[in-house]
Amino acid sequence: MSPINHDVDVELFIRLQQDDHAAYTEIYGKYSRLLYTHAYKKVGDRELARDLVQDLFTTLWLKRHEIIIKTAPSAYLYTALRNRVLDHVAHQNIASNYVSYLENYTLETNDLTDHLIRHKQLMQLIEQEIAALPEKMRQIFELSRKEHLSHKEIAAELGISEQTVRKQIQNALKIMRPKLSVILALIFLFEK
């Protein structure tokens, strides 16, 4: 692997912003493995690390005209990846806090019926969000989360690539996370 040359990187990012796909490919080739290793060390999950890096590079291409780099391009990429890792951890913490809250609530009160009603309402809201996904995305998401199939098994069952499966699940989570975060936040506010 060649050492990082900031002048070359700056030139690559300038070309990227001018819609040069070869520059994008070169940036990807130069940084994807390094970023994956960094993400894996932070999250400890190979598939999640791959998803985070893939999301970073997808966004890099889609928002290439909006990118303003005030530091070295490599620092920009690592910061963008760090933000994705932190977002993931924050979402995990919200879900984990809610589960802990439900467990404690059940232990601290005798009103199990109220707990079950709220749990059922939350599950209905989650199901509504899943049902609102585009059909193919919903099908893939349900096979992953409800049937617990691996990306490889889903790809084989639907006759599509594992990359497509991974991207569809990633997009589904991207659509659902903001909505579910708001729902969970409201539940915390009104139950205290």
Can you give the residue ranges of every domain in the chain? 6-86, 109-191
Mean pLDDT, range 169-182, rounded to an integer: 76
pLDDT attached to residue 4 = 55
pLDDT attached to residue 170: 84
Mean pLDDT, the chain, rounded, equals 79
Looking at CATH, the fold of the domain delimited by 109-191 is given as: Arc Repressor Mutant, subunit A (1.10.10)
Q: Does residue 2 have a pLDDT over 60?
A: no
pLDDT-based confidence at 145, cuts 50/70/90?
confident
Q: Which residue has the higher pLDDT, 80 or 183?
A: 80
Tokens linked to 111: 């009103």
pLDDT of residue 75: 86
Least confident segment among 33-47, 111-125, 131-145: 111-125
Burial class (CB in 10 A: 0-12, 13-18, 19+), 109: exposed
Whether the per-residue pLDDT at 183 is higher than 70: the answer is no
**Domain 6-86 CATH class label:** mainly alpha
CB-neighbour burial class of residue 168 (10 A; exposed 0-12, middle 13-18, buried 19+)? buried
Of 23-27, 85-89, 111-115, the range with the highest mean pLDDT is 23-27
Average pLDDT over residues 32-38: 92
Whole-number Cα distances in Å, 192 to 67, 105, 135 = 41, 10, 37
- What's residue 91's pLDDT? 67
Which among 192, 168, 189, 185 is positioned nearest to 90, based on CA atoms? 185
What pLDDT does 35 receive? 92
- What letter does residue 153 receive in the DSSP assignment? H
pLDDT at 160 over 90: yes
Q: Of 27, 31, 30, which is closest to residue 12 (Cα–Cα)?
A: 27
